[in-house]
Chain A
């Protein structure tokens, strides 16, 4: 047995090759992990930047739509939506990256989350803002005919300003509206921009469409 095994002792080369291959594989794997980690960090950073700008763009687009509406009560009641919508808001949406969300309404929907998180979850009794979904859709569908290379999905909500003190979150009594925009992307990327806008006083109004003034514009927390 021993003699036969030694007679066929051809394993030296194999051992050598296996050792070299393992060594090379280890070096390659280490380099690959290091470079891939750096690429992922850079990609995550880029995606975050893109999401912030997408959320800002969504707010800007919502402001444009709101500026031409003579009455914001129709938005606060949910009767009128933006011109930028992507089908029915109540049906589930597949987000880039594989997640599925229900935009509106009811428990576990994105609107329900916003209702609890916007304004830091604070409540003003009868004036507590009631967030209405206003605009939603993929960023790639923003400009008709133009090609926007983005996998982000944006959603915008609007709500009455609690300072108006009228006790009804579906009625705007002071010409001030809150806007809350989210951009959702792959790998759980999510960025929020919230803004407060006011219809310009009549004396300031120029030619139609009526102007809207930004009172505050901030990158929000999620």
Chain B
């Protein structure tokens, strides 16, 4: 090692200075980057929640009112209503939406015998049903609607099946009318979107099941537009005249709805990050 030349003081000072400057700049950049990471993550999460909520809602709205070969449901019944199914008929609020439709590949048939309000089973036509089905594709647990040409409509829940017979659950709302032979029975979706203000969650309820569509939702508003794209006041859905009876009685003005606009206001998970508003406007495809 003898004779090895070391570093001069100047070299050490310059090298240390350069290193400090470089490291300082790097650390500053890292600090800023790391400080912004949660904000970026929250923004990404916010966008994703907005997308999921808008997509789910839009898909249901596009299907709203779709029916059977006899015609769209929306020709005789509202494709959507501004109330929960358990709310009194004629009530209307701005932050609740219930959608009704016959889904793709739905089980469906017609009554062979009249269905009385208190009847525990329905006899259905099996001729013309898909082969290898016991009761036209209905299965235990199917949610369905029974409806006739006079705009009577009631929910059914199938508890069990046998050949040509649907055993009906007594747990759903009592039927309000007697349905004559020939009335249609179709598997149906009746789904309600509403904001749970306590948990700040947008929830979708269908049958006995509820699932969360989006978290951290601050506000939810639905607007109802007619064929001229004029916003219909909620009072129009409360003042009659009313059709049908029982739990599915509805204001006939709901049949004039052609477009539904939803506004979902979302907050960041922490409450301190960015906020977003998802706004979707959907023309009802099955417009009646």
Contacts and interface: CB of A to CB of B under 8 A. Distances in A.
B131 A214 contact: no
B69 A196 contact: yes
Interface string A81-125: 000000000000000000000000000000000000001101111
A36 B104 CA distance: 36
A7 B4 contact: yes
Given A34-B40, A122-B105, A23 B4 contact: no
B128 A163 contact: yes
Given A41-B48, A214-B285, A176 B69 contact: yes
Interface string A1-33: 001001100000000100010011001000100
Interface residues of B, number: 40
B67 A23 contact: no
Contact of B131 (A123, A163, A215): A123
B103 interface: yes
Contacts of A3: 1
B253 to A, nearest CB: 22
Interface residues of A, number: 41
Given A217-B286, A218-B104, A161 B130 contact: no
Contact of B55 (A24, A45, A198, A214): A45
B180 interface: no
Contact of A31 (B33, B55, B66, B105): B33
A165 interface: yes
Contacts of A219: 59, 62-63
B31 to A, nearest CB: 12
A123 B128 CA distance: 10
A148 interface: no
B19 interface: yes
Contacts of B68: 215-216
A171 B37 CA distance: 63
Given A217-B62, A217-B285, A194 B104 contact: yes
A57 to B, nearest CB: 12
Interface centre among A7, A196, A218, A221 (most CB of B within 10 A): A218
B171 interface: no
Interface string B136-154: 0100000000000000000
B130 A124 contact: yes
B72 interface: yes
B47 A218 contact: no
A20 B23 CA distance: 8
Interface in A180-198: 194, 196, 198
A6 B5 CA distance: 10
Contact of A162 (B4, B59, B67, B128): B128
A119 B71 contact: no
A80 interface: no
A68 interface: no
Q: Which of A123, A162, A216 has the largest count of B CB atoms less than 10 A from its CB?
A: A216
Interface of B: 1, 4, 19, 22, 26, 29-30, 33, 40, 44, 47-48, 51, 55, 59, 62-63, 66-72, 101-105, 127-133, 137, 285-287
- For the complex of A and B, 9 pairs with smallest distance between CB atoms: A120-B105, A216-B66, A122-B130, A217-B285, A218-B63, A163-B69, A218-B104, A38-B44, A218-B66
Interface of A: 3, 6-7, 16, 20, 23-24, 27, 31, 34, 38, 41-42, 45, 48, 56, 119-120, 122-125, 127, 161-163, 165, 174, 176, 194, 196, 198, 213-221
18 contacts: A20-B22, A23-B26, A31-B33, A38-B44, A41-B44, A120-B104, A120-B105, A125-B131, A161-B69, A162-B130, A214-B286, A216-B72, A216-B102, A217-B62, A217-B66, A218-B62, A218-B63, A219-B63
